[in-house]
Amino acid sequence: MKPELHMESDTAYTRVRALILSRELAAGTSISERGLSETLGLGRTPVREAIRTLAQEGLLEVIPARGTFVRQLTVEDMREIHEVRLGLEGIAAVLAAQQGASEALRLCAQQLREMAQHTALDVLETQKIGWRFHEAMFQTTGNQRLLSLYLNLRAQSGLALQQLEHYDAGRLRLAIDEHLEIYAAIEARDATRAQRAVWDHLSHALQGRLQSLAPNPGRPAAL
C-alpha cells in the first residue's frame, strides 16, 4: 500500500472509531461505506478498510444480506469481555508491580483520592480517571502488545457502558477504593496482591454491570 493510502486508511479508522465511541454512531446504527465516505470526506477504499478492521475488533457487525451495523453488545458479550480482561489485567498487574508505581499511576491515584472526598461523585469524570488508571497500569508494564490488546477490549467495554442508563453511586465509590488498593499493591511491588486486587475489582464490576443489564419493565436485556 502506498504511504498516502496507508495514511488515509489510518485516518478513516481513527475517525470512524471516534464516531462510534462518542455515540455519534449509536449502537444498532446502520452504516454504509458510501455514507461514511461522504461524511468524512475520504475515499471509499480507506473507509472500506476501516470498516473491515473495526468489524474484526468487534465494534461493527456485518450481517449478510442486511448490512453493517454498530455492534449492540449482549450480556454474554459483556461477560466474555470481562473474562478476557481478567487474564490481561492480571498479567499487567503482576508486571506493573515488578516495575513499581509510575508517575502516571501516582497521578491517577491522587485524583481518585481527591474525587473520593466529594459528597456527590461526577460519574463521567470518575469513570474517565478509572480508564486512565487502567491504561497507566498497562503502560507501566512496558509491553506495547499487552497495551494494544487492552485498548481494543476497552473500546468494546465502552460500547456497553455508554448504554447503561444508571450507574450506582455506591458501586462507584467501591470502585475508587478498589483502584486505590491496586495502586497500593503495585507501589509495594507485591505482584500477588496486585493481581488479586485486579481480579476482585473486575469481578465486582462485572456483577454490577450484569445487574444493570438485567431485564426489567421497559428495558431489554440486550444492549
pLDDT tens by residue, 25-71: 888 899 999 999 998 888 899 999 999 988 888 889 889 889 999 88
All three cell numbers of 24, joined, read 455519534
One domain for residues 148 and 45: no
Work out whether the CA dihedral 11, 154, 171, 93 comes out positive or negative: negative
pLDDT at 98: 97
Q: Are residues 21 and 53 in the same domain?
A: yes
Residue pair 193/94 in contact by the 8 Å Cβ criterion: no
The verdict on 119 and 11 lying in the same domain is no
Which pLDDT band, with edges at 50, 70 and 90, does 18 fall under?
confident
Confirm whether 221 is domain-assigned: no
Question: Which residues are paired to 47 by β-bridges?
Answer: none
Is there a single domain that holds both residue 82 and residue 61? no
Tell me the per-residue pLDDT of 168-192, one tens digit each, with 9 for 90 and over.
667 888 999 999 999 999 999 999 9
Do 46 and 118 have their domain in common? no
Domain hosting 151: range is 75-213
